[in-house]
Amino acid sequence: DQQVKQNSPSLSVQEGRISILNCDYTNSMFDYFLWYKKYPAEGPTFLISISSIKDKNEDGRFTVFLNKSAKHLSLHIVPSQPGDSAVYFCAASATAGTALIFGKGTTLSVSS
Amino acid sequence: DAGITQSPRHKVTETGTPVTLRCHQTENHRYMYWYRQDPGHGLRLIHYSYGVKDTDKGEVSDGYSVSRSKTEDFLLTLESATSSQTSVYFCAISPTSGGNLAKNIQYFGAGTRLSVL
């Protein structure tokens, strides 16, 4: 049973527009949520995170929104750039030093 | 980039042979993890370590063992490789200092692509 779900396997966006990647979770014990970006033949790279006491965290072009009552989070990328084309993973954890539970990933393609 | 080196980067082996993958870190982080990534799945935790000689099982630990005799090295062993263990293996580390949000961030190595024929 998947605890972290990314229901859209792929997303295509034009350069300069907004990319919105979505993630749902089922485990109410999760307190920390992270987004990773992964290029082919490389390891996942940490992008941005948020704790459950917040509803928004922003870092440059990347913003993560958390709706705890809906058990939903989203990653907004504005403006999108061709270099953002990658697989994006949503991950969650209940506490530090334990497993990150990953979604299956969403492949983002940004066309110029 | 976090100082994490995985070796080898690629390996092809035969069913039934033992295989050891190595993860080496230069960050002196206490926590280290092994994940595998397969098509149709996200990353799944195999084993993790919370200190020298302290390890625990993850979600998909069957067929794998680990050892950590030094802070900087975390070894993953497939005692008798099977075709179902063909995968990409990632090592990760996380700090124990900083705020709670920082301590939940795991930093990943570049991965080892393992093929079991």
The DSSP result for B79-99, as a single string, is SS--GGG-EEEEEEEE-SSS-
Q: Is A93 on the interface with B (CB under 8 A)?
A: yes
Closest residue to B105, CB basis, from A49, A104, A105: A49
In chain A, which residue's Cα lies nearest the Cα of B29? Answer: A97
Taking CB atoms and an 8 Å cut-off, how many pairs form between chains A and B?
69
Contacts A97 to B, Cβ<8 Å: 30-31, 48, 50, 94, 96, 103
In chain A, which residue's Cα lies nearest the Cα of B111? Answer: A43
From first to last of its 117 residues, what are the pLDDT tens digits of chain B?
569 999 999 999 999 999 999 999 999 999 999 999 998 888 999 999 999 999 999 999 999 999 999 999 999 999 999 999 999 999 999 988 888 888 889 999 999 999 999
